Amino acid sequence: MRVALTATVLLGVLVLGFTTVGRAAQGQEIQAGITTGEKLTIAFDASAAGIECTVIAVRGDFLGCQADPQSSGRVLRDHWYNLKMLARIDRPVQR
């Protein structure tokens, strides 16, 4: 009888554990509704000036920004930022 009770409790704990596990980052909704191609200004300090960003992708907690094509004579590099590290995301006003 004790074996059956122990097995039932263990099975219940396993089922509860599987139902409460979160989804993988790829299966989650895009952070803050940010979409590819959107132009944002991001800042690491709430009172500091921000960095212009054209979104190339959002992967989990990371935001990919396209390199600025106007920076002539420089090697163009895309930048990835951790959304958890940002203090502010500004969007242009939609009217």
Within a domain: 14: no
Within a domain: 53: yes
Supply the pLDDT for residue 57.
92
For residues 50 and 43, the answer to whether their CB atoms sit within 8 Å is yes
Within a domain: 19: no
Name the more confident of 38 and 92.
38
70-85 pLDDT, tens digit per residue, is 656 677 889 999 999 9
Within a domain: 86: yes
Closest C-alpha to 32, from 53, 5, 6, 18: 53
User: In the block, which residue shows the tokens 């969007």?
Assistant: 91
Within a domain: 58: yes
Within a domain: 79: yes
Q: What Cα–Cα distance (Å) separates residue 94 from each residue in 88, 90, 91?
A: 18, 12, 9
Percent of the chain with pLDDT over 90: 26
CATH of the domain at 85: 2.30.30
Q: What Cα–Cα distance (Å) separates residue 22 from each residue in 17, 85, 95?
A: 10, 22, 37
Within a domain: 35: yes
> Count of domains in the chain?
1
Distance CA 19, CA 13 (A): 10
Query: What is the residue range of 31's domain?
Result: 25-90
Q: What is the average pLDDT across 39-50? A: 90
